[in-house]
Amino acid sequence: MNEITRRDADAPRPAGEERRQDTLLPAVDIHEENDAVHIIADMPGVTRDSLVIEVDNGVLSLEGEVAIPMPEGLSPLYAEVRAQRYARRFTLSHEIDSEAISARIDSGVVHLTLPRRDTHRRRRIEVQAA
Amino acid sequence: MFGDLRGLDPARAQGMEWVRQLFDEMFPGGGAADIRSVPSGSFPPINVGRTDDTVRVYVFAPGLGAEDLEVSLQDNVLTVAGRREAPAGDEARTRFRQERFHGDFRRAVALPEGLDIDRAEARFRDGVCEIVLPKRDELKPRRIEVQAA
């Protein structure tokens, strides 16, 4: 699965984004291993369909909507989660290969793998005949 | 439901939630706190809502499944307990951020009286555990017939 989409800087934003909503900042772990940076983000209630990951101009944005089915007429008694949208952005350094980013989501945990560009790629140099 | 919660917090300006939280943490006191209230950011966050015939508890426990969460109810206090394992991996790797909770947790919330515990149900999906507690019949809203004089 791969929800990464590229977007032109001046592309029109979807209509839903016009409405400013409160957003939650998902907790993340970030580490580097095996020539890739890994981001693990807690986004409970977000499904594969409600998760949007984009790279735009060197900025990685991670957004997701809490998509839990709830009955009509549910009124809050007590709430610690007070928004239904998560959003977080990270700037990418140039050695990240943004074309090769992959993501998966399982039980509300998003795992992103951001491979580094292969700068040590072995290249064969053709020797021209004299 | 989560979109409507601004009503719980009358003094809050949009986008300024973090300032309010910062001040709440720096200057506790003032109003009386609930005996079971916890500092914001405790794991797992819990929401409680109500409909005409049920009370619903949402436990936000990403990465956990039904077998990892222990839910119990005694004297209208709901307790959720469990453990979230630290992500496995090479100890030598470079870590930049570690914000996600791991370890043992146990949290309790007080619920309204008059719930039918025997008919309670819980299900887990996408990292959220929904616990549905039906109200006993005497607590459900009832229509009162108005007699003609």
Q: Phi/psi at B3 (nearest 5 deg)?
A: -75, -20
CB burial of residue A109 (10 Å; 0-12, 13-18, 19+)? buried
Convert the pLDDT of each residue in A15-40 to its tens digit.
444 444 678 899 999 998 878 899 99
Q: Point out the residues of chain B with pLDDT beneath 70.
A: 1-41, 90-92
Q: What values do phi and psi take at A33, rounded to 5?
A: -160, 145
Q: What CATH class is the domain A22-69+81-115? A: mainly beta
Rg of chain B, C-alpha, whole Å: 20
Q: Decide if B106 contacts B83 (C-beta within 8 A).
A: no
Burial class (CB in 10 A: 0-12, 13-18, 19+), A125: exposed
What pLDDT is stored for residue A80 in this prediction? 85
Residue range A53-100, pLDDT digits in tens:
999 988 999 999 998 888 888 888 888 888 889 999 999 988 888 889
CB contact under 8 A, B126 and A84: no
- Determine whether A110 is exposed, middle or buried from the number of CB atoms within 10 Å of its CB (0-12, 13-18, 19+): buried
Q: Please report the domains of chain B, with CATH numbers, ordered by start residue.
A: 41-86+100-139 (2.60.40.790)
Say yes or no for a CB contact (<8 Å) between A42 and B126.
no
Give pLDDT, residue A4. 47
- Give the side-chain half-sphere CA count within 13 A for B96: 12
Backbone angles phi, psi at A95, to 5 degrees: -80, -5
At A81 the pLDDT is: 86
Give strand pairing partners of B123: B130
**A36 Cβ under 8 Å from any chain B Cβ:** no
Q: Is the pLDDT of residue A11 over 50?
A: no
What is the ipTM, given to two decimal places?
0.72
- Per CB-CB distance under 8 Å, the chain A contacts of B55 are 77
Residue A114: pLDDT band by 50, 70, 90 thresholds?
A: very high
Residue A120 has pLDDT above 60, yes or no: no
Best residue of B2, B17, B20, B130 to probe chain A, by most A CBs closer than 10 Å: B2
**Which residues does chain B have within 8 Å of residue A23's beta carbon, measured at their own beta carbons?**
none
Is pLDDT of A5 > 70?
Answer: no
Round to whole Å and give the CA distance between B15 and B17. 6
* CB-based contact B131:B121 (threshold 8 Å): yes
